[in-house]
Amino acid sequence: MSNKKNEDIEMRAMEGGNDFGREQDPFLGKMPPVSRPRGREPGMSAYFEQLDHSPGASILAYCLSSISMTVVNKYVVSGSAWNLNFFYLGVQSLVCTLAILLARQAGILKNLSAFDSTKAKKWFPISILLVGMIYTGAKSLQFLSVPVYTIFKNLTIIVIAYGEVLWFGGSVTPLMLLSFGLMVLSSIVAAWADIQAAIDGAGHSAETSAALATLNAGYAWMGMNVVCTSSYLLGMRKVIKKMNFKDYDTMFYNNLLTIPVLVVCSLLVEDWSAENMARNFPVETRNKLMIGMVYSGLGAIFISYCSAWCIRVTSSTTYSMVGALNKLPIALSGLVFFDAPITFGSVTAIAVGFVSGLVFAWAKVRQKAQDAGILPTSKPTMSASAQSNRDANS
């Protein structure tokens, strides 16, 4: 399952944007200092206010929310008989939509716009692309391990970067090209290690063929996910400027509009018989699966809040670096929680993928600094008054 609510947030932050700090001011703006009578010990409100402005706490919260989302998604779809991905994604979107509406009703999300049918019609094609992205992500995560899935997701960055060059006038620097090469190398090493582990772990030719067929299916779904994710993020970037959407507006429309699509797809494609439901939700794990499905919907809110919190108390540059560093614990979580094979190849792939993320984040930081004039690459233009003074002196 791809972290669908986090991917657009993460990619926008990796581009160096700081939309969250601006968009979330009514919701996440700094609170004015609370006046207290002298001599009184600060209470819990002072502690939470201090925590709210803690960079370390915001970074830790973002990392934990992202890791937990990936682990929970993998747990839900990793059952041997699981075949209800559309149903799962529908529950996820429904929970997220209800949570957003309740937060607005409670006055927490004061900057969430009211539903507009005209905007919904214009945004619906983006929601269709989102369905393709999250479904292919769910299928690829079902067949692939968390480390391999995380490494291959880096390939999306390459497609998006060149899509921005074609449609938004972006540029690719030599440092970015180096990171892209490392991303491709890490994906090749990860695939090789995964295939080698499947061959070594299977004792018979039939088992080997089944294991390789599973991996091939995972790689095929992963390739489609890279295409769908890139299309969704590039399309959203193009439309979102026209719609003047804020972060929670985007999340609200995305989840609300995907619910009917996911429900219809589930009813048409998936097996809703009592026998199949019993296979997907065995008695011994039924409660855990339902809790995981509900958390996956709420996790979207947690990730969005923690992302905005991290950028607000640190910077978009720090957030970009944290996002790159966070790839390592996400990959390692697959080794810890799901008994993924630990081999020299898998560890090397994780390390190379981790370095590629750092190089790309640093490349974006340098590119933003150059665009802002912090790292000038040419001689600055002399003002007219300075030029006239220089001519007079000479």
pLDDT of residue 233: 84
| pLDDT of 217 strictly over 70 | yes
Q: What is the pLDDT of residue 385?
A: 41
pLDDT for residue 261: 92
pLDDT category, 360, cuts 50, 70, 90? Answer: confident
The burial of 333, by beta-carbon neighbours within 10 Å (0-12 exposed, 13-18 middle, 19 or more buried), is given as buried
In 3D space, the residue among 126, 94, 135, 124 whose CA is nearest the CA of residue 2 turns out to be 135
Contact 332, 354 (CB under 8 A): no
What pLDDT does residue 1 have?
A: 44
Q: Which of 90-94, 158-162, 324-328 has the highest mean pLDDT?
A: 90-94
Residue 179 has pLDDT above 90, yes or no: no
Asked whether the predicted pLDDT for residue 178 surpasses 80, the reply is yes
Residue 394, in any domain of the structure? no
Asked if the structure places residue 74 within a domain, the reply is yes
pLDDT at 30: 41
CA 67 – CA 110 distance, rounded (Å): 28
pLDDT, tens only, 89-126:
999 899 999 998 898 888 877 777 788 888 888 889 88
**32 domain residue, yes or no:** no
Is 25 within a domain? no
Q: Of residues 356 and 340, which shows the higher confidence score?
A: 356
Is residue 34 a part of any domain in this protein?
no
Q: How high is the pLDDT of residue 80?
A: 67
Q: Quick: pLDDT tens for 365-378.
A: 787 777 766 544 44
In a domain, 385, yes or no: no
Two tokens, residue 81? 């008989």
Residue type, 308: A
Torsion of CA 10, 11, 14, 20, to 10 degrees: -60
Q: Which two tokens stand for residue 235?
A: 């399309």
Domain ranges, residue 79: 4-20+54-369
Question: Position 290: which residue type?
Answer: M
Going by pLDDT thresholds of 50, 70 and 90, the confidence category of residue 391 is very low
- Give pLDDT, residue 205: 61
Q: What is the pLDDT at residue 28?
A: 35
Give the model's pLDDT for residue 23: 37
Burial class for 105, CB neighbours closer than 10 Å (0-12, 13-18, 19+):
exposed
- Average the pLDDT over each of 30-34, 336-340, 362-366 and give the range with the smallest value: 30-34
The answer, yes or no, to whether residue 392 has pLDDT greater than 70, is: no
pLDDT digits (tens, 9 = 90+) for 234-289: 888 778 777 777 667 888 888 899 999 999 999 999 999 999 998 889 888 889 88
* Structural domain count of the chain: 1
- 293 within a domain of the structure (yes/no): yes
Region 344-354 average pLDDT: 84
Contacts of 62 (CB under 8 A, 6+ apart): 303, 306, 307, 309, 310, 319, 322, 326
Percent of the chain whose predicted confidence (pLDDT) is above 90: 12
217 lies in some domain = yes
Residue among 91, 1, 97, 96 nearest 281 (CA): 91
Higher model confidence: residue 193 or residue 21?
A: 193
CA gap 195, 345 in Å, rounded: 10
In which band, very low, low, confident or very high, does the pLDDT at 344 lie, cut at 50, 70 and 90?
Answer: confident
Choose between 303 and 378: higher pLDDT: 303
